[in-house]
Amino acid sequence: MFRKWKWIVMTLLVAAIMLVIRLEDNGILKTPIRQLVTTSADMTYLSELGQSLLKKEEKKITVSSDIGQSDLLSFANAEEFEEGYLLQYEVGLPVYTGQEGLVVFTGHTKYTGKTMTISYADGTTVSYGMLDSLAQLPYTSVKSNDLIGMKESGQLYMSIEKNNIHYTLEEIVQWLQTDENEN
């Protein structure tokens, strides 16, 4: 029964935020609510709040798996773009989550097209853009190796931020390698 109430409260919170943002978009509210609730710090806070409300006592079982983010390390070229990098791939690939987290954005942006942003449990916020398809809905919890979306050959945008600092390409590669070793 208590878990049901947590879901109701979380759903109402998300609905209230979406309603207020819609009111701002239509010019009814002059306060920049979207900016207030879509900063990295606020998304991290909402992620932690949501995860604490939905926290289940689970028994962890170690399993081995050949899926993960190792395919993302196979890019042929990279160039700096916006606050991240465009990674060039010769073949299409599925894109998986690196660890547990919360999807904080799913949609289309002007510069990165179909984009998904995930706030991971380790405090990193990762945006995957220029995806060809999206496999998760906003404000859903994800586990390690959950499918994010699909990327055909071409460029994939990736940006990682932690403590308001954006990762360099070398740090992104290291994060992907470390993340893969933990899975």
DSSP assignment string, 39-99? SHHHHHHHHHHHHHHS-----------S-SSGGGGG-SEEEEETTEEEEEESS-EEEE-SS
pLDDT surpasses 50 at 168: yes
pLDDT surpasses 80 at 32: no
Question: 70-182: what fold?
Answer: Glucose Permease (Domain IIA) (2.70.70)
- Structural contact between residues 146 and 124, judged by C-beta atoms closer than 8 angstroms: no
> What are the sequence ranges of the domains in the chain?
2-53, 70-182
More confident residue, 46 or 13: 13
Mean local confidence (pLDDT), 121-126: 92
Tell me what pLDDT residue 177 has: 84
Tell me what pLDDT residue 4 has: 64
A 10 A CB-CB count for 182 gives 11
Tell me what pLDDT residue 34 has: 58
pLDDT surpasses 50 at 141: yes
Mean local confidence (pLDDT), 150-175: 94
Mean local confidence (pLDDT), 126-143: 94
Q: Which two tokens mark 75?
A: 């890019």
Residue with tokens 């010019």: 27
pLDDT surpasses 90 at 131: yes
User: How does pLDDT run across 81-101, given as a tens digit for each residue?
Assistant: 989 999 999 999 999 998 899
Residue type, 144: S
Q: pLDDT-based confidence at 61, cuts 50/70/90?
A: very low
Tell me what pLDDT residue 11 has: 72
pLDDT surpasses 60 at 5: yes
Mean pLDDT of the chain: 80
